[in-house]
Structure 1
């Protein structure tokens, strides 16, 4: 199978099953099913780590949970500042979802972020949050006025920026996942199997976590800019 055929196969999301509601048929894609698995893992992990919380004589499990919570909220909260702390839980959740979605490829699942629909949905959700934060903190009048700042002549560019931001977030995340796959396939063709295995761990683990951080960092940057 050629590289192009492998690429098409990797990016093609198969329909796992179809939900029938009367005459309506709703196909459920592979990326959706894997997303459900990621959600189930995160929920079960949260329930396990937060069971039986105490204020004194805490268990090692609770200490670990508090450590993870403080680190994640500290990283995201540091990017948002005091005014943006209300958006920390959402961004931490996105960070965990994207990171686990990339890492899950190590266990034989196809990462949901290889589906352009998933990355586009994440980007649109983030920009809706950004613009909603701007309206909430500034009010509708000041939010609209921000489109003519610093001078009215830049208004078309400010409006265009609202649409280019989600496109940038979407294509950056999807492009990095796509690029990692292409590099892996090229390595398999020219070097011994042991080297691609090492790079697979890097791309699925470290690079996946890095892309999750970059996505959240840019969204945090947009939110901070919108509410200042």
Structure 2
């Protein structure tokens, strides 16, 4: 169990990869570097997949791309409706990033989502977008009045919810990703050969994709509530 504790500590610790000699030294940890790698991979993949797009006689590559992106777009538009369709590109981008970040451990990198700073940043960005959507829809005064709806007595609760939502999004993503790692390590300790493989498919692949889905699904629900 001591080895498990050491591996858990190592997973929760983000080492500094290099330091930029500006303003006394800016430390760049591995979560940031892996995020840069994910951005580069997704960018290059986007360039490759969107080359030579055609209206007539589309290639299999184009059909596959249209199926995936069209499915994601329709999923979010069904939740948000016409009022929130302008937020769909953000939700798709976050879903792709979290999905790839949760799966990147399969190729030897430490998933950035095991760093609470990353999940907190994602949660804060999403909540800022949610509140900005509310202000854009209702106006500044209308947005402030919405905190006293449906009755003024719930004002403190609605204000508190403004801070609870990002904490909930952050801790749900971070806790589930880290929890999946702990369960897999315990399985490897108890049954070290062969049996952990199917569990790895669940905890490393299926669960990672589920957490991406849950994060963007909740964010889309918050946006829908804000724009209605």
TM-score range, shorter chain: over 0.9
2:128 alignment partner in structure 1: 128
Does the alignment pair 1:71 with 2:71?
Answer: yes
Distance 2:45 2:103 in 1: 16
1:14 alignment partner in structure 2: 15
Check whether the contact 1:120–1:167 (CA below 8 A) recurs between aligned residues: yes
2:215 alignment partner in structure 1: 215
TM-score where L is the length of structure 2: 0.97
Q: How does 1:44-63 map to 2 (within 5 A)?
A: 44-63=44-63
Check whether the contact 1:130–1:226 (CA below 8 A) recurs between aligned residues: yes
Distance 2:104 2:179 in 1: 17
Check whether the contact 1:134–1:143 (CA below 8 A) recurs between aligned residues: yes
TM-score where L is the length of structure 1: 0.97
Count of residue correspondences:
227
2:92 alignment partner in structure 1: 92
Instruction: Name stretches of at least 5 consecutive residues in structure 2 with no aligned partner.
Output: none
Question: The residue matched to 1:150 in structure 2 has which SS?
Answer: coil
1:226 alignment partner in structure 2: 226
Distance 1:195 1:174 in 2: 26
- Bigger mean CA offset, 181-190 vs 130-139: 181-190
2:189 alignment partner in structure 1: 189
2:153 alignment partner in structure 1: 153
Does the alignment pair 1:112 with 2:112?
Answer: yes
- Bigger mean CA offset, 162-171 vs 38-47: 38-47
Deviation readout 1:37-78 (Å, 9 max, x if unpaired): 111111111101101111112222211111111111111222
1:36 alignment partner in structure 2: 36
Give the 4+ runs in structure 1 shifted more than 6 A.
Answer: none
Instruction: Name stretches of at least 5 consecutive residues in structure 1 with no aligned partner.
Output: none
- After TM superposition, give the deviation of residue 192 of structure 1 in Å: 3.5
Distance 1:80 1:203 in 2: 30
- Bigger mean CA offset, 194-203 vs 87-96: 194-203
Check whether the contact 1:106–1:201 (CA below 8 A) recurs between aligned residues: no
